[in-house]
Amino acid sequence: MGQSLSCKIQDEHGLFTAVQFGDLMTVKTLMEIDPNYIRQTTVYDRHSALHIAAANGQIEILSMLLENRSVNPDSLNRHKQTPLMLAAMHGKIACVEKLIEAGANILMFDSLNGRTCLHYAAYYGHSDCLQTILSSARTSHVAVSWGFSRFVNIRDGKGATPLHLAARQRRPQCVHILLDSGALVCASTSGYGYLGSTPLHLAARGGSIDCIRELLAWGADRLHRDASGRIPYTVALKHKNGACAALLNPSSAEPLVWPSPLKFISELNQDAKALLEQALMEVNRQREKNILKGSGFSVSSPTHSDATIDDNISEASDSQLCCICFDQLCTIEVQDCGHQMCAQCTLALCCHNKPNPTTSTQPQPICPFCRSNIARLTVIKVKVNYVDQELDLYSSPKQRKSRKSQNLSEGSSSFRGLSAVPSFGRMVGRSSGRVSVDHECDKP
């Protein structure tokens, strides 16, 4: 359909052409001449003026049309697509917001593939539209009648969820939003792609390392087989996606995954969550570099620059160092006890404990310093000496080359609390301050 919706009919009165190109005055004049023009549709596709305005992002005309009570925000074209579906398809966020505000139903299916507006936003990679639709689902009747989790994992006519479509179409930002909203990372298709394909199979076929990185970090199973017995690694090889295949190879190191024990924390501060997620992704990027070293493949480097942050950190007070690894600055505070540690050590702590075989549940994470249960994790501010201001550390620093003896004595007591946590040294290296990427940790 392209980025604009063509009328492709004999537009006798010029209404649809005026709507398409945003000629508000002409549209108003035609409506005054004959109000029935508002009910006209194109000959073949049965697009109404509302469909054309939504697909072309003509928000002023869309708003004017919706002011008429006789206009149905859920009007259907030939393929039973609503204006909201077309707005989500073309990424017209203002139109998406206006239609939802006007009462457009987000739970409607087209007749082409049985898809909703959520499927369209995910398929075409419009993350802002996707986020808006999901936010509406949390507060609308859909959350009550269907349930929000069910809506996030809604299937089209071929059994594909929005996550399947986003992974296949190489939409990593949409993949992240859907996973963060509760999308099932190992859901299988019934007719889309190969029978039994998971989002990881489809990401391997599409060749998106970014999508694969997101899926693995959220616990996607590299050994899951589709109906033909193929694992994602085999799919990547078949489609000549060598870098993806290297990461999906079952013999390569397991990625670090978002730790399930954090689900036991009643309130996970959003800033702390973002910080922990970034730390996790950086650890996995280092794993990727190790896997791909010498293989002729490379992965994209992080978008942020470490140089500026490292310069600031080099001047930071040694008292701000994490007392577990002595390398990273403290960025996470444990509440209610107030103890502090770096994001990498927090991840290692929460990834370490294994489920109790008698209960099959994860024990609640505890503070390594005072052994009390962790009720909440928050981001702390680190004060930098030379500028005397607070700096949010959302990027992991490189190793500090020197440590003062006072830090060792100051943090020596912190290791006593770790005595009850066996093999913790395998998770957190005292010399590097990074979580080891060579271990295998339990998936949530």
Res 120: pLDDT: 98
Neighbours of 52 (CB within 10 A): 30
3-state secondary structure the chain: CCCCCCCCCCCCCCHHHHHHCCCHHHHHHHHHHCHHHHHCECCCCCCEHHHHHHHCCCHHHHHHHHCCCCCCCCCCCCCCCCHHHHHHHCCCHHHHHHHHHCCCCCCCCCCCCCCCHHHHHHHCCCHHHHHHHHHHHHHCHHHHHCCHHHHHCCCCCCCCCHHHHHHHCCCHHHHHHHHHCCCCCCCCCCCCCCCCCCHHHHHHHHCCHHHHHHHHHCCCCCCCCCCCCCCHHHHHHHCCCHHHHHHHCCCCCCCCCCCHHHHHCCEECHHHHHHHHHHHHHHHHHHHHHHHCCCCCCCCCCCCCHHHHHHHHHCCCHHHECCCCCCCECCEEEECCCCEECHHHHHHHHHHCCCECCCCECCCCECCCCCCECCEEEECCEEECCCCEEECCCCCCCCCCCCCHHHHHHHHHHHHHHCCCCCHHHHECCCCCCECCCCCCCCC
198-237 burial, b for 16+ CB within 10 Å, e for fewer?
A: bbbbbbbbbbbbbbbbbbbbbbbebebbbeeebbbbbbbb
**For the chain, what is the domain count?**
3
Q: Are residues 70 and 180 in the same domain?
A: no
Q: Collect the ranges in the chain with pLDDT lower than 50.
A: 1-3, 7-10, 301-317, 352-360, 382-444
Asked whether residue 238 is assigned to any structural domain, the reply reads: yes
Which residues sit opposite 46 in a β-bridge?
A: none
pTM higher than the cut 0.85: no
In a domain, 184, yes or no: yes
Q: Do 16 and 47 belong together in one domain? A: yes
User: For the packed helices 172-180 and 127-139, what is the interaxial angle rounded to 10 degrees?
Assistant: 20
Q: How far is CA 215 from the centre of its chain?
A: 9
Strand pairing report for 389-391 and 382-384: antiparallel
Q: Are residues 147 and 95 in the same domain?
A: no
Q: What is the pLDDT of residue 305?
A: 35
Residues 405 and 285 in one domain: yes
CA distance linking residue 324 with residue 16, whole number of Å: 66
The pLDDT value recorded for residue 339 is: 84
Q: What is the pLDDT of residue 400?
A: 39
Q: What is the pLDDT of residue 421?
A: 31
- Are residues 49 and 27 part of one domain? yes
> Residues 271, 375: one domain?
yes
Instruction: Report the C-alpha gap between 272 and 381 in whole angstroms.
Output: 11
- Tell me how many degrees the CA angle 84-97-49 measures, rounded to the nearest 5: 45
Which pLDDT belongs to residue 409?
Answer: 38
Residue 34 is assigned to a structural domain of this protein? yes
Both 157 and 30 in a single domain?
no
Is 36 domain-assigned?
Answer: yes
Sheet holding 376-379, edge to edge: 267-268, 376-379, 332-335, 340-341
Same domain, residue pair 172 and 190: yes
What pLDDT, on the 0 to 100 scale, is given for residue 202? Answer: 96
Residue 432 lies in a domain: no
Cα gap 229→399, rounded to integer Å: 44
- The candidate with the shortest Cα–Cα distance to 173, out of 219, 136, 220, 208, is 208
- Residue bearing tokens 């299916």: 109
Range(s) of the domain holding residue 234:
143-252
Q: Residue 282's domain is classified under what CATH number?
A: 3.30.40.10
CATH code, 99: 1.25.40.20
Residue 221 lies inside a defined structural domain of this protein: yes
**442 is a domain residue:** no
Confirm if 199 and 215 have CB atoms less than 8 A apart.
yes
Instruction: Decide if 154 is inside a domain.
Output: yes
d(CA 327, CA 342): 9
On whether both 45 and 10 belong to a single domain, the answer is yes
From the centroid of its chain, how far is CA 184? 12
- Whether 377 and 273 map to the same domain: the answer is yes
pLDDT of residue 150: 94
Task: Answer yes or no: do 265 and 243 share one domain.
Answer: no
* The CA-based dihedral angle spanning residues 423, 426, 428, 434, taken in that order and rounded to the nearest 10 degrees: -170
The answer on 84 and 50 residing in a single domain is yes
